[in-house]
Amino acid sequence: MAKNKQKTMAKSNAIAGYLFILPFIIGFILFLVVPLVQSFYMSFCAVTSTNGQGLAYDWIGLKNYHDVFFKDPDYVPRLLDELKNMALFVPGTLIFSFFMAILLNQEFKGRALVRAVYFLPVILSSGIMLGLETNNSLLASMSDSIKQDDSMTTITKTLENILLTGEQASKFFEYVINLVNQVYNIAISSGIQIIIFLSGLQTISPSMYEAAQIEGCTAWESFWKITLPMISSLILVNVIYSIVDFCTKSDSQLMTLISDTLYAKFDYGLTTAMSWVYFAIIMVILGILSFIISRWVYYYD
């Protein structure tokens, strides 16, 4: 009797749970699975519009994918560019936000204000605001014309030239200089990561540091032995968040190319193939990274 009762309880719980997440299931199937499957099918087809009556699909196999890689002049270079930028940008964001979180975790006057300023870009620089300065044909031609008379020599420029002429270290310096040039982009896109790291840092109990200090641990050692392991699970979250955020930015070169191809040529097959290639690559990168990092993550409890 008792067993029977328990069973029905579990059952009614399951039913209630499903009812609660029902909106999500419907939305997920209707607005995510259906479009995804459709687009996957579409990427193997030549899609032609039959004068407003609908679309005709002709199966052409892998031709769209072949076109993406071997015919389209812009796609592969931009993809490589994008990945290179990501390799630069994501570690930069992580280091920057971690560093800022440590700074903001200390006591000083006006901390709340600084925290508010850092979070401001999350609100302001999303969506079109970000792309407005680069995405616009008028302003793009404008910035080209400005670049042409950019022959001024500044101290930083000279320094950059000197550093880049060295043979051995030039690759490293190039990386650093690129990073420094990106510092604005990094700063405005790391608002959420800073907050996440900060909340993680605040959960580490001070007694742990105290104990370490009494045992004769220097600040440097306690950073590596306490702070980093305790926060490692949040590093994983932030890596994933930064990559996704980077890839879905509306001013990303590749996204612009994809949506331009869509709205200019109405070549649905090619466009979906492009997005699928990009999507697959992001997924592979995310999978590999989260596999590597999650092996190294330390869980306290």
| Interface positions, 67-126, toward other proteins (CB under 8 A) | 100, 103, 106, 108, 114-124, 126
* Structure-token pair, residue 158: 């000279």
Number of residues forming the site for other proteins (CB under 8 A) = 93
Query: With binding defined as CB under 8 A, does residue 26 bind other proteins?
Result: yes
Longest dimension (CA), the chain: 88
Considering beta carbons, is residue 11 or 84 the nearer one to other proteins? 11
Q: Write down the residue that tokens 């592979």 correspond to.
A: 284
CB of 50 to other proteins, least distance (A): 11
Handedness of CA 259, 262, 265, 267 (dihedral sign): positive
Contact range with other proteins by CB under 8 A, out of 68-76, 87-95, 159-167, 269-277? 269-277
Is the backbone of residue 103 left (phi > 0), alpha (psi -120 to 50) or beta?
A: alpha
Q: Quick one: which of 261, 262, 255 has its CA closest to 279?
A: 255
> Binding other proteins by CB under 8 A: which of 199, 205, 211, 292?
199
d(Cα 70, Cα 76) in Å, to the nearest integer? 8
Residues in 143-172 that interact with other proteins by CB under 8 A: 145-146
For residue 53, the 8-state DSSP code is S
Terminal-residue alpha carbon distance, the chain: 38
* Smallest separation, CB 224 to other proteins (Å): 20
Q: Rounded to the nearest 5°, which phi and psi values hold at 190? A: -115, 20
Query: Sign of the C-alpha dihedral, residues 37, 39, 44, 45?
Result: positive
Chain residues 207-236 in contact with other proteins, contact rule CB under 8 A = 233-234, 236
CB of 128 to other proteins, least distance (A): 4
257 binds other proteins (CB under 8 A): no
**Quick check: 192 binds other proteins (CB under 8 A)?**
yes
203 binds other proteins (CB under 8 A): yes
Closer by beta carbon to other proteins, 34 or else 169: 34
Residue 281 interacts with other proteins (CB under 8 A): yes or no: no
